[in-house]
Structure 1
Amino acid sequence: MTAEALAAPVLTHGRLLPVTVHFDDLDALGLLHNARYPVLVERAWTALWSELGFGFDGDWEAAGDACNAVKELRITYDAPVVRPGAYAVHLWLERLGTTGLTYGFRFCSDDGAVTYAHGTRVLVRLDATTLRPAPWSDAFRSAGRGLLRSAD
C-alpha cells in the first residue's frame, strides 16, 4: 500500500457507479476493512446488471445469467480509505467468453479521479440444475459487449 493514492486516467471505458462507505465498514484503525472492498464492488455490479435488465429474485432455476460463481478474485490496495462517505466503483469487462468473463474494477473517489484499490474477478456462468459451466445468453453477451474495454 502506498502513502498516496494513484491518479486515475480519464474514464475511457466501462461505467462509474456510486457506492457509500458507512462508519461500520471501517476497521479498528478507522480504515475501510479489506474485506469490504469486494462487497462494495459486488453491489455496484449488481446495480449495473439490474439497470441493464439482468436482476436476481432468489430463484436459481429462473436466474439465467445471474446463476454464476466466482472462480478468481484479485485485488490490489493502492491507498487507504479513511472515512465514510461517497465513493465510486469503475467497472468494465476485460474478457467475455462463452461461459466465463473477467471484469476489471477500481474502487475510487466519487469522481473517479483517485484510485484506492483495483483488481479483476473471473466469473463462470452455471447451469442451475447441474452447476456445470453454461453459455451466457445472447442478450447478456450483447449487453456485456458495451462494457468491454477496447485495446486502448
Structure 2
Amino acid sequence: MTAEAPAPPVLTHGRLLPVAVHFDDLDALGLLHNARYPVLVERAWTALWSELGFGFDGDWEAAGDACNAVKELRITYDAPVGRPGAYAVHLWLERLGTTGLTYGFRFCSDDGAVTYAHGTRVLVRLNATTLRPTPWSESFRSAGRGLLRSAD
C-alpha cells in the first residue's frame, strides 16, 4: 500500500506566486541569505501588481500608484532554505488605507505547505512631485480589495 502525499493547503486569502532561488542567493553556509527573502517577496509583488495592470516603467511622474515607499518591514525566519529551486510567495493585504497599506507574506515551498519566513510590510503612496503621502487611485483600491485578508 502506497501512502498518498498530503494535499497542499487551500489558500483562504491572497495569492501564491512562484519564485526561484538561485545558487548565488545562498550564503557561505549554503542557506538562502536573509537579505534575499525581501527581494524575492518584492519580485513576487511586482509580478502580481503587473498582472493586475499596475506596472512601473521608470517614469515616477507617470508611475501613479507605483510611486510608493516602504515605511516598515518585519520578517520572521521560521526555517532555513538550504537549496536552490522552485519556491513560492503567498501574498495578501492586511490593510488598505487611504494613502498606505500593509501587506502580509509567507516565503514558502512551491505548493505553499511549508513556511520558511513570514512578515509584513507597510507602504505609503507618494506624490511624485512633493514626495508627500497621496491617496491610492480607485482602480488600485479596487484591485487591492480582492487581496484583502478577511477576519478569519
Q: The residue matched to 2:61 in structure 1 has which SS?
A: helix
Query: CA separation of 1:9/1:133 partners in 2, compared to 1, >3 Å: closer, same or farther?
Result: same
**Alpha-carbon deviation of 1:11?**
1.2
Q: Deviations over 1:44-79 (max 9, x none)?
A: 000000000000000000000000000000000000
- Unpaired runs of 5+ residues, structure 1, are none
Query: CA separation of 1:6/1:65 partners in 2, compared to 1, >3 Å: closer, same or farther?
Result: farther
**Regions of 4+ moved over 2 Å:** 1-10
The structure number with the bigger radius of gyration is: 2
Q: Give the whole-Å Cα distance in 2 for the aligned partners of 1:29 and 1:4.
A: 34
Q: Give the whole-Å Cα distance in 2 for the aligned partners of 1:105 and 1:61.
A: 29
Give the alignment's Cα RMSD to 1 decimal: 4.8
Contact 2:17 2:88 in 1 (8 A): yes
Q: Provide the TM-score with structure 2 as the length reference.
A: 0.94
Q: Identity over the aligned pairs, expressed in percent?
A: 95
**Alpha-carbon deviation of 1:3?**
25
The aligned length equals 152
Query: CA separation of 1:148/1:5 partners in 2, compared to 1, >3 Å: closer, same or farther?
Result: farther
Query: CA separation of 1:4/1:114 partners in 2, compared to 1, >3 Å: closer, same or farther?
Result: farther
Q: The residue matched to 1:45 in structure 2 has which SS?
A: helix
Q: The residue matched to 2:119 in structure 1 has which SS?
A: strand
- Unpaired runs of 5+ residues, structure 2, are none
Q: Provide the TM-score with structure 1 as the length reference.
A: 0.94
